[in-house]
Amino acid sequence: MTNASSTYLSIAIGAVVGAFISLLVYALQKKSTIKQEENLKRLKELDERHDTILELIRQFQKHQEKLLDQILSLDKKLTLQLKRKTVPPYIVRPISTLV
């Protein structure tokens, strides 16, 4: 083999090896890109579920606050009624006014 033919053969072998390495790198990058897209999709779904759960928690908290306000209001009303009714009115009135 002459120097020229071995040079051409080396160039051809280098091109084949280079093409093989390029295809290998391309395939690995494609796989990693697909996995990244899947992860981003899952993250987006989790974020949407998170927002939905947060909204449900806010609604539940508002409902609980309403219930608490109603309970406190009833407590105030009962306290006022009990203060008014601590002494029965028939005991406080003198007997002469009942006749």
The DSSP string of 57-87 is HHHHHHHHHHHHHHHHHHHHHHHHHHHHTSS
Number of domains, the chain: 1
pLDDT of residue 56: 97
pTM: 0.55
Enclosing domain of residue 23? 7-82
Q: What is the DSSP letter of 90?
A: H
> Is residue 87 assigned to a domain?
no
Tens of pLDDT, residue by residue over 25-54, are: 999 999 999 999 999 999 999 999 999 999
Name the more confident of 30 and 78.
30
pLDDT of residue 87: 53
Do the domain assignments include residue 53? yes
The answer to whether residue 99 is domain-embedded is no
Residues 6+ apart with CB under 8 A from 73: none
Residue 94 lies in a domain: no
What mean pLDDT do residues 12-21 have?
96
How far from 47 is each of 38, 39, 53, 54, 71, CA to CA, in Å? 14, 12, 10, 10, 36
